[in-house]
């Protein structure tokens, strides 16, 4: 199913044609069908978005916190209403998580986050300290540039955008290339909620550094750049350096993968079987390795294999499915299988899964 494609980017409260004709296909990883095509904005589009945000910054910073809270609460109610009208949201189609997980986490958690920031915004008090020699006053940092990942597309966008808006900062949002539709949905939600023009701007685009236009990305324009680096490892280091370069002179919040965990309790191994496969393993905090005590090593292998083999995979809209497809493309599955082979050559023992887990499936990642 190919749904209606957004053909414009959202800048200054209105929808604009991008400066480029380049586009991005949004693919449903469960069906491999293109469900939408969105613009691939370039540096000129970012320029325009930052300019619109800069123009709106003073008024939004001066807006009474209770008014900001009211907008966030209205956005929460609008998002909740949209959730109730359809079980198959843009998040479901772009990410294709198991339907129960999608309802509880991918949509339910963002609603909770919006509610939390609406509550916080209503209670905020401006920090101020005075002494004989100085006055210290807390103020909004300014224009926030948010680069969000694909694995929790609505939650990650809402968490960054809601926090910035509650603090009095306008936002320029660049959603993940693999799940861009959700950002368009959120722009419409905030538009309906009465957010002033220019306070939220959305420019979809390719991954940082992937297109020549990204190399011309201007510097010193965002006051704060929020980036969570949860992309594919092959070009992660390049894009991380590019993101840092583009944010030179701005405050930065850049995240990376979670470190290893140490466990000696066999119960922890059993719980990890579910934890590591949560959201298809596509989670920044998913355990990639455990160091276990020699006394429980054999038991850990048995428990890990047994737990992994009991997790149902399949159609994400089947209520019994617990693991859906990998986001992005078929090569993602190839990389996983290559990693299995590489580890086995190093001496690892495969206790569950492997190539046989997807045998006979012609469609879906």
Average pLDDT for 297-317: 75
pTM: 0.81
pLDDT at 158 over 80: yes
Specify the pairing of strand 33-39 against strand 23-28: antiparallel
pLDDT classification of 90: cutoffs 50, 70, 90: low
pLDDT at 106 over 60: yes
Torsion of CA 330, 336, 339, 341, to 10 degrees: -80
Can you list the domains of the chain with their CATH numbers? 9-255 (3.40.605.10), 261-356 (3.40.309.10)
pLDDT classification of 256: cutoffs 50, 70, 90: very low
pLDDT classification of 281: cutoffs 50, 70, 90: confident
Digit-coded pLDDT (tens) for 20-78: 899 998 888 888 888 889 999 999 999 999 999 999 999 999 999 999 999 999 999 99
Digit-coded pLDDT (tens) for 170-214: 999 999 988 888 899 899 999 999 999 999 999 999 875 454 334
């Amino acid at each position: 199913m190919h749904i209606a494609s957004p053909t414009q980017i959202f800048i200054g409260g209105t929808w604009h044609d991008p400066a480029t004709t380049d586009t991005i296909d949004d693919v449903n990883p469960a069906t491999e069908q293109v469900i939408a095509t969105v613009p691939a904005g370039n540096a000129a589009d970012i320029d325009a978005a930052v300019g619109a945000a800069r123009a709106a910054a003073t008024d939004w910073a001066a807006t009474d916190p209770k008014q900001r809270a009211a907008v966030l609460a209205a956005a929460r109610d609008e998002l909740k209403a949209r959730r109730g009208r359809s079980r198959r949201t843009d998040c479901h189609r772009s990410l294709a998580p198991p339907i129960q997980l999608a309802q509880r986490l991918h949509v339910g958690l963002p609603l909770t986050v919006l509610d939390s920031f609406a509550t916080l915004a209503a209670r905020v008090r401006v920090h101020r300290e005075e002494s004989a020699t100085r006055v210290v006053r807390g103020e909004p940092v300014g224009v926030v540039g948010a680069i969000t990942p694909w694995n929790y597309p609505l939650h990650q966008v809402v968490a960054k955008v809601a926090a910035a808006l509650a603090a009095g900062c306008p936002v320029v949002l660049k959603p993940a290339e693999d799940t861009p539709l959700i950002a368009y949905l959120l722009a419409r939600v905030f538009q309906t909620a009465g957010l002033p023009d220019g306070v939220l701007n959305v420019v979809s685009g390719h991954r940082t550094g992937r297109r020549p236009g990204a190399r011309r990305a201007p510097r010193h324009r965002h006051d704060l750049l929020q980036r969570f680096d949860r992309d594919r490892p092959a070009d992660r280091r390049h894009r991380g350096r590019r993101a840092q370069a583009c944010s030179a002179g701005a405050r930065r919040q850049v995240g990376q993968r979670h470190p290893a965990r140490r466990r000696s309790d066999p119960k922890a191994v059993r719980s990890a079987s579910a934890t590591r496969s949560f959201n298809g393993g596509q989670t920044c905090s998913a355990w990639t390795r455990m160091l276990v005590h020699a006394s429980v090593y054999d038991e850990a292998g048995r428990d890990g294999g047994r737990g992994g083999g009991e997790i149902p995979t399949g159609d994400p809209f089947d209520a019994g499915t617990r693991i859906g497809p990998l986001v992005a493309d078929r090569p993602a599955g190839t990389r996983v299988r290559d990693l299995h082979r590489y580890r086995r050559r190093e001496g690892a023992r495969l206790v569950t899964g492997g190539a046989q887990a997807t045998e006979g499936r012609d469609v879906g990642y």
